[in-house]
Amino acid sequence: MGIVHHSRYLPWLEEARVAYLRSIGHPYDATRADGVDYAVIESHLTYLRPVRFDEVVTVHLALVAGTRATFAIDYLLRVAGEVRSTATTVHGCVDGRGRPVRLPDWLNELITPLR
């Protein structure tokens, strides 16, 4: 069909999240070293128009909500300025054993103005 398979969108979201953390001074490996991991507990994608093979996708993201131990990110996926998909992921903060922990202070500060 010449279009990107729907399963390939989730890795784009993950790549954008990791790049975002790095860009704000909190690379993923450092947050894990601090004892916090961010498990994806929910994801939702809306496919508005297909992405075709060899098109360059730009992913925009924004933190949109949070609780004491979870936060949500909204995404906008564009090709040449045209919106092709929207998405949301919800993440639970967990320790090395997978048990819930509070949001790190720096992450809570980013989300607090949104509440």
**Under CATH, to which class is 6-114 assigned?**
alpha beta
Predicted TM-score (pTM) of the model is 0.92
Identify the CA nearest to 70 among candidates 31, 40, 29. 40
Over the stretch 11-48, which tens digit does the pLDDT of each residue have? 999 999 999 999 999 999 998 899 999 999 999 999 99
Q: Which residue pairs, CB below 8 angstroms and at least 24 apart, start in 23-29?
A: 24/110, 26/106, 26/107
Over the stretch 40-77, which tens digit does the pLDDT of each residue have? 999 999 999 999 999 999 999 999 999 999 999 999 99
